[in-house]
Amino acid sequence: MKSQQTSARIRGYINASLSAGFFGLIPLFSIPVLKSGMPLPSVLIYRFAFGSLFMLLYLVARRISLRLGWGDALRLSFLALLYSLSGIALFSSYSHMPSGIATTLLFSYPAFTTLLEALLFYQRMGWTTYAALALAVVGVYFLSGFGETGHTHLTGVFLAVFSGFAYAVYMVAFPRMRIHTMNSVKINFYVFFISMLLLLLYSSFTYGGVALLNGWSNLINLMLLGLFPTMISNVTLVRALNLIEPTTVSVLGAFEPLTAMTVGIVVMGEPFTWAVALGFTAIIAAVMILVTGKK
What pLDDT digit, counting tens, does each position of 193-236 carry? 999 999 999 899 888 889 998 889 999 999 999 999 988 887 78
Indicate the number of domains in the chain: 1
Instruction: Give the other-Cβ count within 10 Å of 212's Cβ.
Output: 8
What pLDDT shows up at residue 145? 61
pLDDT in tens, 227-251: 999 888 877 877 776 777 655 666 6
Q: What integer is the mean pLDDT of 261-286?
A: 81
pTM: 0.80
Residue 61 belongs to domain spanning? 2-293
DSSP state of 231: I
- 276-283: average pLDDT: 82
pLDDT grade for 123, boundaries at 50, 70 and 90: low
- What is the pLDDT, as a whole number, of residue 149? 46
Tell which phi-psi region holds residue 51, choosing left (phi > 0), alpha (psi between -120 and 50) or beta. alpha
Burial 95-129 (b: 16+ CB within 10 A, else e): bbbbbbbbbbbbbbbbbbbbbbbeeeeeeeeeeeb
Cα distance between residue 209 and residue 3, in whole Å? 55
d(CA 105, CA 153): 13
Decide: 245 and 195 in contact? Cβ < 8 Å: no
pLDDT at 1: 60
More confident residue, 200 or 10: 200
Higher pLDDT, 249 or 79: 79
Output phi, psi for 219, to 5 deg: -60, -45
> Phi-psi region for residue 49, left (φ > 0), alpha (ψ -120 to 50) or beta?
alpha
Contact in structure between 231 and 23 (CB atoms under 8 Å): no
Predicted confidence (pLDDT) at residue 133 exceeds the cutoff of 80: no
Q: What is the pLDDT of residue 248?
A: 61
- Whether 40 has a pLDDT exceeding 80, the answer reads yes
* Backbone angles phi and psi of 31, in degrees to 5: -65, -45
Do 260 and 104 form a contact (C-beta atoms < 8 A)? yes
